[in-house]
């Protein structure tokens, strides 16, 4: 380095050319001071003013489903493959004067027209208004009560490890938030049968657009929690829906279910070792060491082309140890022999498990799986973009519910 060059970072000069850094420095430099624009870091959640778009990526380990990071706006769910920017591109803001999408609905609500905001946020290609959906969900959480609960639902885990029964006279999910307040485990299991019983319109939205909707539901339940208990958890509360409209068997899954929330039952036959999957890539310029953080979106990562500091092109290299990875596991789920037609071969489906759901099931477990049904193209040649006409299907798991194995028949079977 010549005498005219500006002095470098003392940490970098001591370290030399190696990109290895202590974890504490990584948290301060990468997670705390990423050079992304504020508009990309904070997702406009239509008036919620929470400043973060989604939950933290889970890492298997302690009972908490998430890992805290200094930059709360950078966290995202591990079970959703889309990034914050991708979800922003899937919404559209429409001015109130130009909003004719819900004109028929507003005819029955003319007295509330003056109270509408100046602009509404819609999920792209749909008539789903984000603000109305959040209000419906808030109404469900604060008012839904039920007397019919399964054994695994009629309990709240406390910080001491004790289990307290749920008060059925109070709103059920407000009682669940009380358990989250005591245990500080940011997970809320959402029974979609309850949602369908209370508001079928909201149920259909969650089933049809889980990639776009779950992010906003996370922010809504987190806002309710903060307003109720005046407390912020290290990470956003993750909503894990289950008990969706159940298909008869996994052989009934069809192209109409792609991208939607499905629930199937089966037996786990094989699990893979834990695989590290990149969620955020750390790129560093080879000339000036300027960092750029890029998110993985639907399995693709955008490599920076031009350095904004030295203006050199194609000078970035990926620094693996400063990138952010989560746990991933591949699970094979097979039909239960009693559920398949006579003389037929057992069908199986591939499950992709992320974050804290890793190692939740083992071979031989019978479980009910809720997740997003995916269809992925298969390349003819790994070096070419040509793909086969038949796609590979899988399920991104959001919730596991183990079935009782010591019960030979249902109580209603006679």
Going 321 to 326 to 330 to 331, the CA torsion angle's sign is positive
Tell whether pTM > 0.75. no
Q: What is the pLDDT of residue 11?
A: 40
pLDDT at 224: 92
Q: From residue 343, how far is each of 27, 69, 333, 337, 338 by CA, in Å?
A: 57, 53, 20, 11, 12
In the chain, the domains with their CATH numbers are 84-242 (3.30.1640.10), 250-274+327-413 (2.40.50.140)
C-alpha span between 8 and 1 (Å, rounded): 9
* Confidence at residue 84, expressed as pLDDT on a 0 to 100 scale: 52
DSSP at 30: I
CA distances from 124 to 21, 132, 215, 389 (A): 42, 15, 15, 27
pLDDT at residue number 261: 92
DSSP letter (8 states) at residue 28? I
For 202: left if phi > 0, alpha if psi spans -120 to 50, otherwise beta; the answer is alpha
What confidence score (pLDDT) does residue 90 get?
54
Concatenated DSSP letters of 187-253: EEEEEHHHHHHH-HHHHHHHHH-HHHHHHHHHHHHHHHHHHHH----SSPPEEEEE--S--SSGGG-
What six digits make up the tokens of 413? Answer: 């079977």
For residue 211, give every residue at least 6 positions away whose Cβ sits within 8 Å of its Cβ, in sequence order, or none. 80, 81, 82, 87, 90, 259, 372
Give the pLDDT confidence score for residue 170 in this predicted structure. Answer: 86
Per-residue pLDDT 10s for the chain (414 aa) are 444 544 444 444 444 444 444 545 544 554 444 444 433 333 433 333 333 233 333 333 333 333 333 334 334 666 665 555 555 555 555 554 444 444 444 444 444 444 445 567 888 878 888 888 999 999 999 999 888 888 778 877 766 667 778 877 888 899 888 888 888 888 899 999 999 999 999 999 999 999 889 989 999 999 999 999 888 888 888 999 998 876 767 888 888 888 899 999 999 999 999 999 898 999 999 989 899 999 888 778 888 888 988 988 888 999 999 999 989 999 999 988 877 777 788 888 999 999 889 989 999 899 999 999 998 888 888 788 888 888 889 999 999 998 865 544 454 443
User: What's residue 398's pLDDT?
Assistant: 93
Output the pLDDT for position 225. 92
Residue 48, pLDDT score: 37
Residue 84's closest CA among 35, 26, 39?
39
The helix-helix angle for 172-183 and 130-143 (nearest 10°) equals 90
Q: Extract the tokens encoding 347.
A: 């069908």
pLDDT score for 235: 85
Q: Which long-range contacts (CB under 8 A, 24 or more apart) does 12-17 make?
A: 12/289
Q: Residue 26 has what pLDDT?
A: 45
- At 159 the pLDDT is 65
């Amino acid at each position: 380095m010549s005498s005219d060059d500006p002095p470098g970072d003392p940490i970098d000069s001591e370290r030399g050319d190696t990109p290895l850094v202590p974890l504490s420095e990584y948290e301060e430099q990468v997670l705390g001071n990423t050079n992304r624009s504020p508009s990309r870091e904070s997702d406009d959640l239509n008036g919620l003013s929470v400043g973060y778009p989604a939950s933290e990526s889970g890492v298997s380990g302690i009972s908490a489903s998430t890992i805290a990071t200094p930059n709360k706006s950078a966290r995202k769910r591990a079970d959703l493959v889309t990034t914050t920017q991708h979800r922003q591109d899937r919404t559209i803001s429409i001015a109130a004067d130009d909003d004719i999408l819900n004109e028929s609905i507003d005819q029955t609500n003319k007295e509330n027209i003056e109270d509408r905001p100046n602009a509404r946020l819609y999920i792209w290609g749909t008539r789903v208004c984000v603000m109305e959906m959040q209000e419906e969900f808030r109404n469900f959480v604060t008012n839904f009560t039920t007397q019919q609960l399964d054994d695994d639902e009629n309990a709240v885990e406390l910080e001491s490890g004790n289990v307290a029964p749920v008060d059925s006279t109070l709103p059920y999910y407000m009682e669940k938030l009380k358990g989250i307040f005591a245990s500080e485990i940011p997970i809320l299991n959402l029974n979609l049968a309850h949602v369908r019983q209370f508001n079928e319109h909201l149920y259909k939205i969650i089933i049809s657009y889980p990639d776009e909707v779950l992010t906003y539901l996370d922010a809504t339940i987190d806002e309710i929690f903060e307003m109720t208990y005046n407390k912020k958890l290290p990470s956003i509360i993750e909503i894990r829906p289950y008990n969706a409209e159940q298909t008869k068997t996994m052989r009934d899954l069809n192209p109409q279910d792609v991208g939607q929330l499905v629930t199937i039952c089966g037996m786990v036959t094989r699990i893979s070792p834990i695989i590290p999957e990149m969620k955020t890539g750390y790129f560093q310029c080879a000339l000036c060491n300027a960092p750029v953080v890029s998110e993985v979106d639907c399995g693709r990562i955008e490599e920076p082309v031009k350095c904004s500091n030295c203006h050199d092109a194609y000078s970035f290299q990926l620094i693996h140890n400063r990138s952010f990875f989560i746990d991933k596991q591949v699970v094979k789920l097979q039909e239960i022999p009693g559920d398949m037609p006579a003389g037929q071969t057992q069908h199986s489906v591939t499950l992709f498990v992320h974050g804290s759901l890793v190692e939740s099931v083992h071979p031989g477990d019978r479980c009910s799986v809720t997740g997003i049904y995916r269809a992925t193209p298969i390349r003819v040649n790994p070096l070419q973009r040509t793909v086969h006409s038949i796609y590979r299907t899988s399920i991104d798991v959001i919730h596991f519910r183990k079935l009782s194995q010591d019960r030979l028949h249902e109580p209603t079977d006679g």
